[in-house]
Amino acid sequence: MRPEPQPVPGKRAMECAEITYRQLDYWARTGLIAPDVPATNPESAPRYSFAAVTKLVVLKRLLDLGVSLQDIKQALAGMVMPPGLAIDVATIAEVVRHRMLRFPGPYDDAA
């Protein structure tokens, strides 16, 4: 079994998903995503799990494919993908795992 990456700070989650701070902030404020470990003080960063980063990658990919944010919200609420849209979730999960494990950053916990 492959190791499950440890939760990463928001900055690393944004890098993995190739999104901007503005996108992550908006998605968090609208309830599309939430950190698994919230910031505990002004100097700490919220941390996102492998599942949360995978969700960010899927959200970004759907937007890149032209799916509206409203359709994405409805699909997530009902767990039904818009018609005609096929996503290989296993492939996306592997990409996310690779991105999260690829280059440990200075903000990662010591292993």
Q: Which residues contact 97 (CB under 8 A, 6 or more apart)?
A: 2, 5, 50
Angstrom distance (rounded) from CA 15 to CA 78: 28
Tokens representing 42? 């002004």
Compute the distance between CA of residue 53 and CA of residue 96 in angstroms, rounded to an integer.
7
Q: Could you tell me the sign of the dihedral formed by the alpha carbons of 97, 100, 103, 104, in that order?
A: negative
Looking at residue 22, its pLDDT comes to 95
Provide the pLDDT for residue 111: 41
The whole-number pLDDT of residue 23 equals 94
Q: What was the pLDDT predicted at 110? A: 43
pTM: 0.68
What pLDDT does 101 receive?
A: 63
What does the pLDDT read at residue 102?
60
- 98 burial level (CB within 10 Å; 0-12, 13-18, 19+): exposed
pLDDT along the chain (111 residues), means of 10: 78 92 92 87 86 87 86 69 54 64 50 41
Q: Is 35 within 8 Å of 28 (Cβ atoms)?
A: yes
Question: Residue 43's pLDDT is what?
Answer: 83
